[in-house]
Amino acid sequence: MMERIEALRHTAAHVMAQAVMRLWPDAKLAIGPAIKDGFYYDFDLEHRLTSEDLSAIEGEMRKIVKEELPLIREELSKAEAVKLFTRMNQPYKLELLAELPEQVSVYRQGEFVDLCQGPHVDSTAQVKHFKLQTVAGAYWRGDSSRPMLQRIYGTAFSSREDLEAHLRLLEEAAKRDHRKLGRELDLFSIQDEGPGFPFFHPKGMVIRNALEDFWRAEHIKRGYHEVKTPIMLHEDLWHRSGHWDNYRENMYFSEIDEQRFAIKPMNCPGGMLLYKRKLHSYRDLPLRVGELGLVHRHELSGALHGLMRVRCFTQDDAHIFMLPSQVQAEIEGVIEFIDAVYSDVFGFRYHVELSTKPANAIGDDAMWERATQALKDALAAKGLPYVINEGDGAFYGPKIDFHLEDSIGRTWQCGTIQLDFAMPERFDLVYIDEDGQRKRPAMLHRVIFGSIERFIGILTEHYAGAFPLWLAPVQVMVIPVSDGQNQYALEVEQSLRHQGLRVESDMRSESVGKKIRAAQLQKVPYMVIVGEREAETGMISVRHRQRGDLGGTTLEPFCQQLLQEIAERR
């Protein structure tokens, strides 16, 4: 079933390529695979494709569908295929062919033929429900030193209903985009004067502080200490840590008293200095040291994306210094910690990747092998399925990455656990073992949220802005029915505030309906409506943003119920 839809999308890609070739016969074909929910095809083409062109291509595709062309597979020798694609003047296909085995396959449909291993559906007639979406640039073979091609993305389904449902889903997803909600709910902004450097507004700060309070409480429970290291440190430190050799491109530098300083892109070198401030006993280990550390990284301008991808962010970092014998238990502990936060508190679905030694790495292969194996062992012990991300580790060690999905299905790395034998070596970290000998500790770098900024972005989309009570910037909006109840509303507001709730009153001379609507749009969890009836009897009328009118009650039980809801983080 899944394979059939993939074949259908792959065929849709061929139909699109055929349509493009009919409209622009000089187009050079690159590749055109099926992807999640659709397909794309890359073209090298003098003409710059516009959205009007997309309609024209769609029109041509519909003709091809009507022609009911059968897809015919042919097996060719490589030599024959080279001849074929040379005759067709398709250099990218020839480049692909050079790496293929002696026997290759092509698929024909009418006058169109493409190098392809398949499978496909039987006829272009089956590609009925599709839509071309966008055209964007993409490097040939994903290599930024190669030519940039034009990529057309499309979506295709086996039924009209599925296609329409998917298009509706995309529309709904756009509504929960954290950048849109961040503006509407007045959580944060990014100004032209600081691309990638977000401003947090009062309401965004409430969420941020609630997350940090939660974070601190959970870390204390798990035996962490908290520290704060400086934003800026001498360049020499970054030479010692390996960042200058391996991470310089992403770093900001400045000068103080004719000395070069770097703004930290990571917290670990500062953490190393803190560890080294005194001698440690084996009895001190594992030493778990957390830091909400603000780091700055120069990201490519085109990569910036709301709070998800910024140039300065706060990592909820921690460095765990361990005896070699403690490594596996500590990794497992962090895996459990992350799962407890993601699954139990926020109800996220996530997937895990294991990233191995990158091209620019410090430390020898044996060390990398040992560290990678330790991460694998921990994952196996926790029974966590994972995919391997070859060559994507940090330059100082392999890592386990936890990925969360945004509203349109893009995934973002949040949590990560990195095992590092290199940094302790470089900084000559030691502890005194029970035999009195100086020995080398192992070290773990890890984050739970990843970056607070990105995590807030993910949370905003996850909840579509309707944050649970414990995170909601305004928890209760008091709404007097008319000006006559403003005084009573104020008393209610004060009383709830004294209980520690975040309350506001809407005392504008507007209709109740309008004030309720405003609170609903701000996704305030509870509205307390007070009119003449309530003012006289000392009661309140409660409305919930999702459950609607909950009827009358008094302050005391209402307040207790909310405090309970907050305590349980529902």
Partner RNA sequence: GCUGGCGUGGCUCAGUGGUAGAGCAGUCGAUUCGUAAUCGACAGGUCGAGGGUUCAAAUCCCUCCGCCAGCUCCA
Residues 498-527, interacting with RNA (CB under 7 A): 508-514, 516-517, 520-521, 527
Residue 121, φ and ψ in degrees, nearest 5: -75, 170
Q: Among 10, 53, 176, 268, which one carries the catalytic annotation?
A: 268
The verdict on whether 406 is a catalytic residue reads: no
The verdict on whether 312 is a catalytic residue reads: no
Q: Among 219, 445, 454, 515, which one carries the catalytic annotation?
A: 445
**Burial classification of residue 526, based on how many CB atoms lie within 10 Å of its CB (0-12 exposed, 13-18 middle, 19 or more buried):** buried
Nearer to RNA, 110 or 358 (CB): 358
Q: Among 129, 151, 264, 399, which one carries the catalytic annotation?
A: 399
Min dist. Cβ of residue 160 to RNA (A)? 24
Is 532 an interacting residue with respect to RNA (CB under 7 A)?
A: yes
Options 94-102, 284-292, 445-453, 491-499: segment touching RNA (CB under 7 A) = 445-453
Would the CA dihedral through 191, 197, 200, 204 be positive or negative?
positive
Which has the closest alpha carbon to 353: 398, 386, 324?
386
Binding track, positions 358-377, relative to RNA; x by CB under 7 A: x-------------------
Is 405 an interacting residue with respect to RNA (CB under 7 A)?
A: no
The verdict on whether 240 is a catalytic residue reads: no
Please identify which residue in 126, 315, 372, 505 interacts with RNA, judged by CB under 7 A: 315
Is 272 an interacting residue with respect to RNA (CB under 7 A)?
A: no
The verdict on whether 315 is a catalytic residue reads: yes
Please identify which residue in 549, 564, 567, 568 interacts with RNA, judged by CB under 7 A: 549
Residues 6 or more apart whose Cβ sits within 8 Å of residue 10? 32, 33, 34, 39, 116, 118, 119, 120
Q: Rounded distance, CA 505 to CA 503, Å?
A: 7
CA-only gyration radius of the chain, Å: 29
**Beta strands of 339-490 (E only): which ranges?**
350-355, 387-389, 399-405, 411-420, 431-432, 438-439, 442-451, 476-480
| 197, 282, 313 from 40: Cα distances, Å | 33, 56, 34
Q: Among 53, 316, 317, 420, which one carries the catalytic annotation?
A: 317
Q: Rounded distance, CA 235 to CA 252, Å?
A: 11
Q: Which of residues 103-162 bind RNA (CB under 7 A)?
A: 134-139, 142-144, 148, 150-151, 153
The verdict on whether 445 is a catalytic residue reads: yes
Nearer to RNA, 126 or 150 (CB): 150
Min dist. Cβ of residue 48 to RNA (A)? 4
Q: Which of residues 32-51 bind RNA (CB under 7 A)?
A: 48, 50
Tokens 């849109």 found at: 180
Question: In the chain, what are the helix, strand and coil shares in percent, each to the nearest 5?
Answer: 40, 30, 30
Reported as type and span, the H/E element at residue 369 is: helix 365-381
Nearer to RNA, 113 or 527 (CB): 527
Q: Which of residues 217-256 bind RNA (CB under 7 A)?
A: none
Please identify which residue in 32, 182, 204, 306 interacts with RNA, judged by CB under 7 A: 306
Please spell the DSSP secondary structure of 156-214, one letter per residue: EESSHHHHHHHHHHHHHHHHT-HHHHHHHTT-EE--TTSTT-PEEPHHHHHHHHHHHHH
Q: Among 208, 297, 403, 454, which one carries the catalytic annotation?
A: 297
Q: Which of residues 55-114 bind RNA (CB under 7 A)?
A: none
The verdict on whether 399 is a catalytic residue reads: yes
**Burial classification of residue 288, based on how many CB atoms lie within 10 Å of its CB (0-12 exposed, 13-18 middle, 19 or more buried):** buried
The verdict on whether 221 is a catalytic residue reads: no
Please identify which residue in 410, 438, 497, 498 interacts with RNA, judged by CB under 7 A: 410
Options 19-27, 76-84, 295-303, 427-435: segment touching RNA (CB under 7 A) = 295-303
What is the total count of residues that contact RNA (CB under 7 A)? Answer: 77
Min dist. Cβ of residue 133 to RNA (A)? 8
Q: Which of residues 478-497 bind RNA (CB under 7 A)?
A: 481-484
Helix axes 202-221, 452-462, angle to 10 degrees: 110
Active-site residues: which are they?
268, 297, 315, 317, 319, 399, 445
